[in-house]
């Protein structure tokens, strides 16, 4: 496929060029002045000086002008009108990129978002289980003020970046990670930010991170229905939510709010997981409901949602997370859930 990338010197343009070249596409950069992209072929012209002859023979022209905002809307409209007029009468398609985030989405890519109390104990084994199925997995830690994901996977080094973007850390099992703690000077430094700033950071973890070609991207969200889940639901191509509960009836009320929010945002809820469902005695093997009798079946029936798993209170999992060895934790209680999701 032969493509021309308009505004290839910009952030979005450079990313498109890189991604296209990684896929062995024939890429030409359309730039004004010196070419700063990775493309070897260049059309050095101002966008408004382009003619149909310049763009003849390309399968597609990609408008990488950048993110659409109210302030740039008029300029975008003028740009698109000119490109459409220039391409009129040709067979070349015009592809419009509304911001860098769209660059990383593989057509096969699934973004699975999980939300609810006690989420980390469920989520980390799920990511590990999916990776062991041979899938390419990424983890976006959207719990900005309590980012625990890197330590659980044994990642302590800071993330690196270039003019292309921020590169996620990679675990021993090949899982790509991005978390605010990978950008902090010290992992114990507090994050004292207001909601809009936190929401902006979450969005940047999607748009500014150079994710690979993932099969699944799991997003670790804090409980509740605030700025973070709202940003995730509005800004990421979410295919489904797994909501995590606990045996207490009070938690069921919080979970119901999360489910109702997903419904309001037209995001499918894949099912429920109950954490701390019971304690399995290592001596007798008996199961003891130390936090009260399970309420997940009744909650699932009330919300018309399937119960995907009931997870035990397991000190071995806590030790694995503390040691940064969650990928090696066995038996993985989320193995069956990963298999179920991978079939859908």
Q: What is the pLDDT of residues 258-287, one digit of tens each?
A: 899 989 988 889 999 988 888 877 778 788
Can you give the pLDDT at residue 104? 25
Q: Which DSSP string corresponds to 266-300?
A: T--EEEEEEEEEEEE-TTT--EE-TT-S--HHHHH
- Separation between Cα atoms, residue 185 and residue 169, nearest integer Å: 16
Sign of the alpha-carbon torsion through 108, 332, 180, 119: positive
For domain 2-102, give the CATH number.
3.40.50.720
Query: Coil, strand or helix: which one is 167?
Result: strand
In this structure, what DSSP letter does residue 171 have? -
Identical fold between 2-102 and 105-343: yes
The full length of the chain comes to: 344
Domain range summary for the chain, segments of one domain joined by +: 2-102, 105-343
Q: Which helix (H) or strand (E) holds 220?
A: strand 216-220
CATH 3.40.50.740 for the 105-343 domain, yes or no: no
Question: What mean pLDDT value characterizes the chain?
Answer: 80
In tens, the pLDDT along 24-64 reads 888 898 888 888 888 889 998 887 788 888 888 887 777 77
User: What pTM value is reported for the model?
Assistant: 0.66
Let me know the angle formed at the C-alpha of 58 by 56 and 60, rounded to the nearest 5 degrees.
125
pLDDT at 119: 44
């Amino acid at each position: 496929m032969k493509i021309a990338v308009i505004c290839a010197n910009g952030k979005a343009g450079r990313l498109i060029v890189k991604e296209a070249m990684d896929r062995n596409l024939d890429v030409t950069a359309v730039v004004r002045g010196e070419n700063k992209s990775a493309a070897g072929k260049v059309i050095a012209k101002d966008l408004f000086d382009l003619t149909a002859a310049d763009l003849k023979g390309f399968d597609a022209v990609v408008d990488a002008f950048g993110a659409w905002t109210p302030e740039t809307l008029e300029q975008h409209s003028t740009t698109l009108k000119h490109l459409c007029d220039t391409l009129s009468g040709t067979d070349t398609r015009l592809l419009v990129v509304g911001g860098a985030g769209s660059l990383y989405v593989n057509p096969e890519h699934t973004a699975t978002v999980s939300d609810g109390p006690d989420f980390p104990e469920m989520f980390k084994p799920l990511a590990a289980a999916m990776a062991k199925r041979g899938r390419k997995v990424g983890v976006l830690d959207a719990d900005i003020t309590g980012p625990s994901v890197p330590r659980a996977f044994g990642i302590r080094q800071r993330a690196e970046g270039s003019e292309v973007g921020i590169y996620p850390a990679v675990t021993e099992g090949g899982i790509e990670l991005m978390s605010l703690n990978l950008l902090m000077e010290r992992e114990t430094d507090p994050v004292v930010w207001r909601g809009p700033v936190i929401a902006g950071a979450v969005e940047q973890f999607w748009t500014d991170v150079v994710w690979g070609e993932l099969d699944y991207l799991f997003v670790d969200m804090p409980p509740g229905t605030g700025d973070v889940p709202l940003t995730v639901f509005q800004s990421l191509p979410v295919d489904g939510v797994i909501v995590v509960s606990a045996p207490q009836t009070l938690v069921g009320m919080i979970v119901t709010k999360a489910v109702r929010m997903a419904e309001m945002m037209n995001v499918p809820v894949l099912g429920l997981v109950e954490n701390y469902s019971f304690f399995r005695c290592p001596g007798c093997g008996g199961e003891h409901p130390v936090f009260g009798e399970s309420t997940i079946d009744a909650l699932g029936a009330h919300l018309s949602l399937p119960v995907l798993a009931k997870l035990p209170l397991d000190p071995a999992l806590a030790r694995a997370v503390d040691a940064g060895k969650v990928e090696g934790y066995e038996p993985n209680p989320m193995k069956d859930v990963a298999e179920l999701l991978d079939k859908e």
